[in-house]
């Protein structure tokens, strides 16, 4: 719960009227955010059932297999949001170092298990039986928490190369490298973008960021073409002839084309009938476009745009720097994953294994993203709590959102 002993006291407080005005705006953003996430979860339940019924019947002899699992995780996700919203988000500031090093240890453990042959193929999941989770989701939030803490603490010398930038870069590259070696190049890239975005918002020298980007982009490109399957995806994406497109891309474009303006209707998708692989996960947006048409697809994009705006409003009016950076990181990460998934479905980016937040089938990502939304709600509530007690921490420093 929120406790006054966790709140720093400041003299020279801004006028109460100004604080009250911004607090109301943030509360509205928080409520609208919860509404948007609820709508996305409901869409996810309907679409996962529609797109996965055929696959579930074939693989599990139960057409409702994905439906009940997605519904269960949506309920658990909602409970996670409510529970985390009641917790003082500063608990993640106090434990950020432990969370980060735990994520690094788990990522390293996966690679060790893969090296000794216990795990074959991609080493992304850890756990026993049904109690498994994708470690990269955990690592993504670990980076957001610890970067927000370090950037807040280093504001006095944030532009210093040795005492500020190098420590942040080392931690980020450690996590990114471990995720990339799973291999999970797409998620590793998105974690890197999230980390660099936080550093930019926090006030890191832009010249340092640009210099690093000029070195990392060629390295990332070399790593991307080192695996034959990634080369095949790039060739399919750059092919100017439809015959050069991969099977997934062709089926995705057919599905989006089938939808037209208004769609074929609920449950009327043709591509879901075992034509489009992972129609309930990576390519779930295709089913949205096919069944609900251009209007339905735009509505989903609008919901994610609304999520982005609400997240930025909460970040802008956060009661302290840590809250501002955490809210920014969570907002950027979730929106970025949504953008990449939708862009892949529309053949605007090469095929990747990135799920659509709150909609794609999968419990791990849904629960971790629910954790993120709960933290955004906690930050939104926290300012009202602070205002009621006449306390507000400084949000100066760094670049304005």
- Identify the residue whose tokens are 């944030």: 158
Q: What are phi and psi of 276, to 5 degrees?
A: -100, 110
pLDDT of residue 398: 57
pLDDT category of residue 377 using cuts at 50, 70 and 90: very high
The CA-atom distances, in angstroms, between 142 and each of 75, 98, 216 are: 24, 9, 22
The CA-atom distances, in angstroms, between 289 and each of 108, 253, 301, 322, 366 are: 39, 10, 11, 38, 21
Which distant-in-sequence residues (6+ apart) come within 8 Å of 11 by Cβ?
none
pLDDT of residue 231: 82
Asked if the model's pLDDT at residue 378 lies above 60, the reply is yes
Which distant-in-sequence residues (6+ apart) come within 8 Å of 57 by Cβ?
63
pLDDT category of residue 122 using cuts at 50, 70 and 90: confident
Asked if the model's pLDDT at residue 34 lies above 90, the reply is yes
Taking the alpha carbons of 14, 20, 21, 26 in that order, is the dihedral positive or negative?
A: positive
Mean pLDDT within 227-244: 74
CA dihedral 330, 208, 98, 383 (to 10 degrees): -40
Quick: pLDDT tens for 274-323.
Answer: 678 778 888 999 999 999 999 999 999 999 999 999 999 999 999 899 99
What radius of gyration do the chain's Cα atoms show?
22
Asked if the model's pLDDT at residue 243 lies above 70, the reply is no
- The pTM assigned to this predicted structure is 0.89
* Region of poorest pLDDT, from 19-28, 33-42, 99-108, 132-141: 19-28
Extended beta strands in 24-95, E state: none
Mean pLDDT within 225-242: 77
Integer Cα distance of 367 and 77 in angstroms: 5
Integer Cα distance of 358 and 341 in angstroms: 12
Q: Which two tokens stand for residue 28?
A: 């509205």
Asked if the model's pLDDT at residue 397 lies above 60, the reply is no
Quick: pLDDT tens for 131-190.
Answer: 788 999 999 999 999 999 999 999 999 999 999 999 999 999 999 999 999 989 999 999
Range picked from 18-22, 33-37, 60-64 for highest mean pLDDT: 33-37
Integer Cα distance of 123 and 107 in angstroms: 9
pLDDT category of residue 55 using cuts at 50, 70 and 90: confident
Are the CB atoms for 124 and 136 separated by under 8 Å?
Answer: yes
Shortest CA distance to 9 belongs to which of 397, 393, 380, 399? 393
């Amino acid at each position: 719960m929120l406790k006054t002993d966790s709140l720093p006291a400041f003299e020279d407080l801004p006028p109460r009227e100004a604080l009250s005005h911004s607090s109301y705006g943030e509360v509205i953003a928080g409520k609208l955010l919860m509404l948007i996430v609820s709508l996305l979860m409901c869409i996810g339940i309907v679409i996962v059932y529609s797109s996965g019924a055929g696959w579930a019947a074939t693989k599990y002899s139960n057409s409702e297999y994905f439906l009940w699992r997605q519904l269960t995780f949506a309920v658990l996700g909602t409970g996670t949001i409510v529970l985390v919203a009641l917790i003082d988000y500063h608990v993640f500031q106090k434990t950020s170092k432990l969370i980060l090093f735990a994520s690094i240890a788990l990522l390293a453990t996966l690679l060790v298990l893969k090296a000794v042959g216990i795990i074959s193929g991609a080493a992304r999941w850890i756990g026993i039986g049904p109690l498994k989770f994708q470690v990269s989701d955990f690592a993504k939030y670990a980076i957001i928490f610890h970067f927000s803490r370090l950037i807040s603490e280093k504001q006095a010398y944030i532009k210093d190369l040795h005492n500020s930038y190098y420590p942040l870069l080392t931690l980020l590259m450690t996590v990114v490298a471990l995720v990339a070696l799973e291999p999970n190049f797409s998620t590793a890239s998105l974690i890197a973008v999230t980390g660099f975005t936080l550093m930019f918002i926090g006030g890191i020298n832009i010249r340092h960021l640009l210099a690093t980007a000029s070195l990392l982009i060629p390295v990332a490109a070399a790593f991307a073409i080192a695996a034959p399957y990634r080369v095949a995806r790039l060739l399919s994406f750059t092919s100017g002839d439809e015959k050069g497109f991969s099977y997934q891309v062709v089926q995705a474009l057919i599905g989006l084309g089938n939808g037209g303006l208004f769609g074929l209707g609920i449950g009327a998708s043709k591509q879901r009938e075992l034509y489009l692989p992972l129609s309930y996960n990576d390519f779930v947006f295709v089913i949205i476009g096919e069944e609900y048409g251009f209007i339905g697809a735009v509505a989903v994009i609008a919901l994610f745009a609304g999520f982005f705006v609400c997240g930025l409003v909460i970040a802008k009016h956060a009661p302290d720097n840590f809250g501002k950076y955490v809210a920014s990181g969570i907002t950027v990460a979730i929106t970025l994953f949504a953008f990449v998934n939708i862009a892949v479905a529309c053949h605007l980016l090469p095929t990747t294994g990135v799920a659509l937040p709150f909609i794609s089938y999968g419990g791990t990502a849904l629960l971790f993203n629910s954790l993120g939304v709960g933290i955004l709600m906690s930050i939104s509530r926290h300012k009202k709590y602070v205002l009621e007690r006449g306390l507000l921490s400084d949000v100066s420093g760094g670049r304005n959102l």
